[in-house]
Structure 1
Amino acid sequence: MNIQKLQQEIIEYSKQIGIDKIGFASTSPFDELKERLIRQQKLGYQSGFEESDIEKRTNPELLLPKAKSIIAIALAYPSKLKNAPRSTKTERRGIFCRASWGQDYHYVLRDRLKKLEAFILERVPEAKVKSMVDTGELSDRAVAERAGIGWSGKNCSIITPEYGSYVYLGEMITTVPFIPDTPLEDRCGTCNKCVDACPTGALIQGGQLDSNKCIAFLTQTKGFLADEYREKLGNRLYGCDTCQTICPENKGKDFHFHEEMEPDPEVVKPLLRPLLFISNREFKEKFGPISGSWRGKKPIQRNALIALAHYKDRTAIEDIKQVLKEDPRPVMRGTAAWALGKIGDTESREFLLLAREKEKDEEVLMEIDKGIQMLEGKKS
């Protein structure tokens, strides 16, 4: 088997099937990553969404016996929304982060990896392969970095010279011994813009993230959001792009290579008020195809209430009152009470006082009291 020839064929085929960048890496353990993950775990910086077994995350051979190499792929996604609807005083809108635009990227990348698998197995039938995207054990970024896809930026994203950090990553472990590519040189240098711009200080320093403070993580949680983060959320419904949009390497980068990744403006920049009462079925129909829907509607609805409070949207007061009065979920009632405090008036205070008499949930009662205190502060 001529490895060099096969490798070149794979590179050419990858372009035909819509893979924007491909690289090859060895399967030696990711020792440096292992140390970093142990440190992250000790500091309590992990989100809980990642694979908990550090050995599996850093040793490819545990995932595929006799593994000899890893193929890393990257697909560029759009950074600019065409025909973006305007957010007006009477029709406020929220926003989903760019990585959630278009069809769920897990499906898009799995499609490309499956085609790549078939291509390899046709030529090397005895080969073994194992592909993964995002939810797999391996760190997509560590693999992409080793395979020369890009360097690991201070914003904890892989930054490619061609597409900036607006890329989705996936990888395939294989028993075929491909020739490894050379990692790229880090180009962040002394630039610290992403660290300085992080709204919550989640980027502790270049390349180190406290996931529990990261807005991208916080928008996906299901409970009450800590007060200090509500103020920082703005109109974000899912994810956060600040550390990417501020990056000089992303300036002018906007790629529309893949039809599946084209966003529907009404889906990724939706009206906020209708979200408060959307049914499960409606939510699934409208938002189901995008990756930002994976946690269900509750976090999105809670974030919509916070966004309305951020805008101090008086036109939403009656809707927010209805949520407080009728929603069976404590997180929604409590967040609605807080939102009324942020944007309400004397009438809202009376409403909150009445709600307090009927409310049984302790956490909701605390939020109602917060709302009342805010309104009383405005009055004085």
Structure 2
Amino acid sequence: MTGAQLKEELIAYSKSIGIDKIGIASADVFTSLKTRLYEQQRLGYQSGFEEPDIEKRTTPALLVSEAASIISIALAYPSKMKNPPRSVKGQRRGIFCRASWGKDYHHILREKLQLLEQFLKEKVPGISIKSMVDTGELSDRAVAERAGIGWSGKNCSIITPEFGSYVYLGELVTSVSMPPDQPITDQCGTCNKCVEVCPTGALVQGGQLDSGKCIAFLTQTKDFLPDRYREKLGNRLYGCDTCQTVCPKNKGIDFHLHDEMEPDPELAKPLLEPMLFMSNREFKDSFGHVSGSWRGKKPIQRNAIIALAHYKEESAVPKLIRLMNEDPRPVIRGTAAWAIGKIGGPLSLQSLNIAKEQEKDGNVLVEIDKGLQMLENHGIS
């Protein structure tokens, strides 16, 4: 069987198992990406979540001996939720980004990639293959761009002509050679909307991201969120979709092709107050199957506290006082103290003053003082 024949059969098989788009890239070194990554490293723009070895990220032959081709796949996910619950006073809600709706996409794509592996091993005995999704060494985006899945947009997402940027990506590095697909010409043109509206200025310029400023990254951190980003967080619990929702290429795009990607509205847009005292077991039972749970409940609970402060939800103050006084985690106690000061109300001043007398952790005391200062600024002292 020639490489061209194998590619034709592979494409037909991929459609039969529900892969929305597939492309083939050469396994040559990603030379321009390597240059960009070293520059990102020099500027300190990396998130720390990616593979630290830039050579591995850009040299497929380091991952599969005799690497010849890379197969890139894309699956489209929904951009709109059916019957989303409303966030109203007394019942405020947070939001998980679209990439965390439904079943964790890592599992969905790995299942598809495993099927492709089995198919290839039957067709080409002795083939070497390595598959990866998101957390692998290679850049999913660079592979997809080379394979003609889409172009790399200014919002640092792959934008496909068919599905916009609402796609999950994965790839297989293989030792078999197949005719590569042609990359798609960049279609962002002069549009700069994503760069202009990024809430934190994380998109330094089109196609360059300062990961440490990106809200999607910040929602996953476990420490105190820097003050300058708390207002920007809004009601986001995990991830950020702003640079996708403003993209003209995503206008009117909403595909519901995979049942397992459909969001449960009560989990994608959950009530905030019940999340504050969730046990690890309750969190895992409710959210363990979504990609946004991978860092555990602590970042989500911290973000829920900030969201309640964003709404100035006075009904939450008694619960926040309880967190401030009883939670064993300094980040949660301190963020609750800050939120109490931000929200205000008759209970805030006394509770913060009492907590200041009892608290031993220096970082929490700093947050209590911030809360007291906000109250003073509003004439409450």
Q: Offset of 1:3 from its aligned partner?
A: 1.7
1:256 match: 256
Residue in structure 1 matched with residue 135 of structure 2 by the alignment: 135
Residue pairs, 1:209-228, within 5 angstroms: 209-228=209-228
Quote how far apart the aligned CAs of 1:243 are.
Answer: 0.1
One-letter amino acid matched to 1:190: T
Q: How do residues 188-207 of structure 1 correspond to structure 2 at under 5 angstroms?
A: 188-207=188-207
Q: Trace 1:37-116 onto structure 2 (pairs within 5 A).
A: 37-116=37-116
Q: 1:347: Cα distance to partner?
A: 2.8
Unaligned runs of 5+ in 1: none
Match status 1:331 vs 2:331: yes
State the shift of 1:294 in Å. Answer: 0.1
C-alpha separation in 2, matches of 1:88 and 1:155:
31
Structure 1 segment 307-322 matched on structure 2, within 5 A: 307-322=307-322
**In 1, Cα distance between equivalents of 2:18 and 2:85:** 29
**TM-score, structure 1 as length reference:** 0.99
Once residues 58 and 9 of structure 1 are traced to their aligned partners in structure 2, the CA distance between those partners, rounded to angstroms, is 28
- What SS class does the counterpart of residue 256 from structure 2 fall into? coil
2:359 alignment partner AA: E
Q: 2:341 aligned with 1:379, yes or no? A: no
Task: Supply the distance in 2 between the matched residues of 1:333 and 1:125 (Cα, whole angstroms).
Answer: 58
Which SS does the other structure have where 2:113 is aligned? helix
Matched, 1:229 2:248: no
Matched ranges for 1:171-186 at <5 A = 171-186=171-186
Partner of 1:274: 274
- Distance in 2 between residues matched to 1:277 and 1:224, nearest whole Å: 18
Deviations 1:333-370 (A, max 9, x none): 00000000110124311110010000000000000000
Name segments (4+ residues, structure 1) moved above 6 Å.
Answer: none
Kept in 1, the 8 Å contact 2:3–2:177? The answer is: yes
SS at structure 2 position matched to 1:131 = strand
Is the 1:26–1:70 Cα contact (8 Å) retained in structure 2? yes
Residue identity opposite 1:263 in structure 2: P
- Structure 2 alignment gaps of length 5 or more: none
Identity fraction in percent: 71
Equivalent AA in structure 1 for residue 188 of structure 2: C
CA distance in 2, matches of 1:213, 1:346: 35
Alpha-carbon distance, 1:240 to partner:
0.1
Q: How many residues align?
A: 380
**Which is further off, 82-91 or 157-166?**
82-91
Secondary structure of the structure 2 residue equivalent to 1:379: coil
Does the Cα contact within 8 Å between 1:153 and 1:188 map onto a contact in 2? yes
Structure 2: how far apart are the matches of 1:220 and 1:28? 33
Q: What SS does the aligned partner of 2:71 have?
A: strand
Deviation per CA, 1:150-204: give whole Å up to 9, x if none: 0000000000000000000000000110000000000000000000010000000
1:299 alignment partner in structure 2: 299
33-42 or 81-90: bigger deviation: 81-90
Letter in 1 for 2:44: G
Structure 2-normalised TM-score? Answer: 0.99
Q: Is the 8 A contact 1:345 1:375 kept in 2?
A: no
Aligned partners of 1:317, 1:371: CA distance in 2, in Å? 13
2: distance between equivalents of 1:346 and 1:122? 71
- Distance (Å, rounded) in 2 between the aligned partners of 1:242 and 1:20: 24
CA deviation after TM superposition for structure 1 residue 6, in Å = 1.3
Two-structure CA RMSD over aligned residues (Å)? 0.6
Give yes or no for contact 1:346–1:375 (8 Å, CA) kept in 2: no
